[in-house]
Chains A and B, each alone.
Chain A
Amino acid sequence: MSKNKLPILYLLLIFSIPLTFLLWHGEETIKKHAVVGFSVLSFADSLDTVSLDEYSSLTLQIENMETKEVTYRVSTFLNKKPLEEKEVKVKSRDILLIDPGQKIFEESKQNQKNEYLVQIEWSKNKKSLRKQFRIENEKQ
């Protein structure tokens, strides 16, 4: 093998500089930049059946991954009838939980079909979520 160590050093640099750059750029992009700029709104769970004392699956989660605080005017409907409307502010990179469950149960009346549709709308981008559910019979 060549006794001159300098070319080996150059070869190592040819490998290590791009590798380090790719790894660093990858970590930066995945962990910082790419997650900025959108928010996620979702129900805390997807269960179709909720009980009177455990209705956390109707909880709305707002995860703000934008760089600034966002204000939402959230409207809740039960079987297409307006239930409540409120304004919430979600700080940047924060998660806010909205729990309309109690209100929903106060207003709900059991019908024969035991089927409900809760709809949550918010002003930003005119987006909405909706969830069909039934109330667990033995807890009625």
Chain B
Amino acid sequence: MLLLFIKFYLAILLSLFIPGYFFTKFFLKKYLRAFSFIEVGLFSFVFSLIATNFIAIVLDFLSIKITGLSLFLALLGFSFFFWFLSRKEQAEDQEKKISTLQLFSKKELGTFLLILALSAIIRTFYVADGIVPQTTDLGHHIYWSKTISQTGQLPNYGMPDFIIGEHIIFSVVSLLSGISYISAMPVAILFLVNIFSLIALSVVAFYIVKQFTNKRTGKITALLTLLIAGCFYATSTPQAKFISGGVIGNMIGNLLIPTSFLLFFLAIKKLDSKMASLFYICLAGLGFTHHLSTFIFLYVFVGFLTIFVLTLLIENHFNLSKTFKNIFPYLKVFLSKWNILTLLLIVLFMLFVHMPSYLNKSAIDTAVGAPSKSTRVGLSVGAISLSVGAWKLFYGILGILVLFSVFVKNQFEKNKKSSLTKIIAISLLAAWFLVIFTMSTRPALLKVDIISSRIVSYITFPLAILSAFFIAFSFQKLSRKTSKIVIQVLLFLVLGTGVISGFADISDSVRDNDPAKEKEVMQTYKASEYLSDIARDNEVVLKDHIHLEGDTWMKLFFMREYKYPLSRSYLRRYEDPTKKRETCTRDMIAIPDSEIGRECFKNTSTAYIVLKDGFDTVQFEKSSNFSKIYTAKNIVIYKKYVQE
């Protein structure tokens, strides 16, 4: 086992840290010493993830088989290339002035690490409870990762539901380390992604809030953001629940969205076109990973631009040329030769190397337009409160109100013009919350046709920053007017209620550690092994998704195709008023000996039925058309008897 762990860590280093480190070193060399190791670690992780995806896509494009060796050499070559470039440039730029970007003092760094450790511990225990791979989403995704490992090629999904960036990293780690997919490897990687998304959120909170308040408020906001996002409601969506659930796209999206905002903001603040290039690359990484996250980002960004331009127009009394003159220096940062080249490369990559599967008219039409189902018409504030946590929502809303008051105060009360970066920071934070809030509650206003409960999971992060900002800002103000003891009591009350609400959520959502459930999953695996040996190529397996545990993972034992074995889904899914659904998977289990059932067996070539013992098994026990060929404690397999 020790060797396996060493190989796993080496694979993680090679695919999730080293390439990104040298890549970032090349692009951000002049800031590298000024950044704290937290920021360097964040950028290394993010750009390694993106680089690993792009390397695998390029290997596939060049018809080079994706194997452990080819990946090892490609990742090493990529790292060496950027190491060489950064060394070369180092010699030329040695005298350049080092930026003064610094994040935390020693004491603050200690607090940061302590909160991060607590966040990691909470997630570890939650995830460890259901460590045997069994969740539906993860099973679907890991099938594709295993396909890459087995074929040495990227899969052709044939559907817009999956995007390549969700699967490559698991294949790479498995191919480099030899670790099985039926292990804790997938959740371990998602755990890392989640922890880095907390870091990204905390860092972006620091830079944004610092811009329109002061450095101290920025630092406190960063620490409180980490506490609220990392420790309060830590097991709900989109955090630990998404790690064990394998909601890969959302998890990576929640890492890349704050990182994109961070790079965008730093590019503006430093007027650095290389930073802007990294912003574009980060966005491309997002685009190749998750459609919903990309969609959310674009909506928020358009919202930001609207707020920002409107504010500027108001400030300049609707003088367009003056407004444009104000924006132009910043616009130049994003349209330099570096950026044009980067954008061109991204477009060429998409056109000639790999186009994300969701970029087609029908998939876009599905997501944009008037809500088409009751699940897409928006949620009430009460439902949002249940989803994100009442405490966080309450202080988040107070945060947006205070943000608005800061904005108004800057614009009117002082009677002096705000700096552009200040307006950008305020607009960005406001848009991040307001756009997602509107998309979740009133999707029709923004022509969003996506399940509202999926959108609302993205509001957690801006809410964490806003609630942290409210506490940091108001207590900073109070501390000037009130005695220390009152401040301490008030802070204790505010954070105390947060602890009660946030940790009650943890105790509510911690699943019962039921070993029986894990045994049932193992029985599903065992039955799958048996069936994969005996089921001939022309024989189809049907399993019951309603009652079997870990049934989605059965496809990893067969590896025949994505929709093999067939699955009897939840009964409500067969009743869809918007389109006709197939019903054979339901009828072959419910009424196997009826005319409909017999016809379905014939049409689908179904030979085996896998059921949980005692759940819908009566009809098969009584039937003379089925043999019962396999039984374990909780699982049975029936075989359709084919008469001559």
Q: A residues engaging B (CB < 8 A)?
A: 1-2, 4, 7-8, 10-11, 14-27, 29-30, 33-35, 37-43, 45-46, 48, 114-115, 117, 125, 127-132, 134
Contacts and interface: CB of A to CB of B under 8 A. Distances in A.
Given A1-B33, A29-B131, 18 more contacts: A1-B35, A8-B37, A14-B117, A18-B191, A19-B188, A21-B128, A22-B131, A23-B8, A25-B128, A27-B184, A33-B515, A35-B526, A38-B632, A43-B627, A43-B630, A46-B627, A131-B629, A132-B641
A29 B526 CA distance: 15
B184 A34 contact: no
B75 to A, nearest CB: 20
A70 to B, nearest CB: 12
A40 B515 CA distance: 18
Interface string B614-637: 000000000010011111111001
Contact of B36 (A1, A17, A30, A134): A1
A117 B106 CA distance: 78
B385 to A, nearest CB: 30
Contacts of A2: 36-37
Interface string B8-36: 11001000000000000000000011011
Closest A-B pairs by Cβ, 9 of them: A26-B184, A38-B633, A18-B124, A42-B630, A131-B627, A34-B522, A132-B641, A26-B131, A34-B518
A129 B131 CA distance: 32
B99 to A, nearest CB: 12
A5 B121 CA distance: 23
Contacts of B522: 30, 34-35, 38
Contact of A37 (B40, B534, B633): B633
Interface string B172-195: 000000000011110110011001
Residue from A29, A33, A39 whose CB has the most chain B CB atoms within 10 Å: A29
Contacts of A33: 515, 518
A34 to B, nearest CB: 4
Interface residues on chain B, size class: 35 or more
Given A27-B184, A34-B519, A48 B5 contact: no
Given A23-B8, A34-B518, A11 B113 contact: yes
B380 to A, nearest CB: 36
Given A14-B116, A23-B8, A41 B627 contact: no
Given A14-B117, A18-B123, A39 B188 contact: no
B456 interface: no
B154 to A, nearest CB: 27
A39 B128 CA distance: 26
B279 interface: no
Contacts of A34: 132, 515, 518-519, 521-522
A128 B607 CA distance: 20
A11 B526 CA distance: 39
Given A19-B192, A22-B124, A30-B182, A7 B113 contact: yes
B127 interface: yes
A115 to B, nearest CB: 8
B600 to A, nearest CB: 19
A2 B492 CA distance: 33
A95 B245 CA distance: 35
A46 B132 contact: no
B185 A29 contact: no
A43 B132 CA distance: 27
A21 B38 CA distance: 23
28 contacts: A1-B35, A1-B40, A7-B110, A10-B113, A15-B120, A15-B192, A20-B5, A22-B127, A23-B5, A23-B8, A23-B188, A24-B1, A26-B184, A27-B4, A34-B519, A37-B633, A40-B523, A40-B530, A40-B632, A46-B534, A46-B629, A46-B639, A127-B631, A129-B629, A129-B631, A130-B627, A131-B628, A131-B629
B128 A37 contact: no
Contacts of A18: 120-121, 123-124, 191
Given A23-B185, A37-B633, A130-B628, A14 B120 contact: yes
Nearest to B186: A26
A117 B627 CA distance: 9
B103 to A, nearest CB: 9
A29 B518 contact: yes
A25 B183 CA distance: 10
Nearest to B109: A7
A130 B607 CA distance: 16
A22 B191 contact: yes
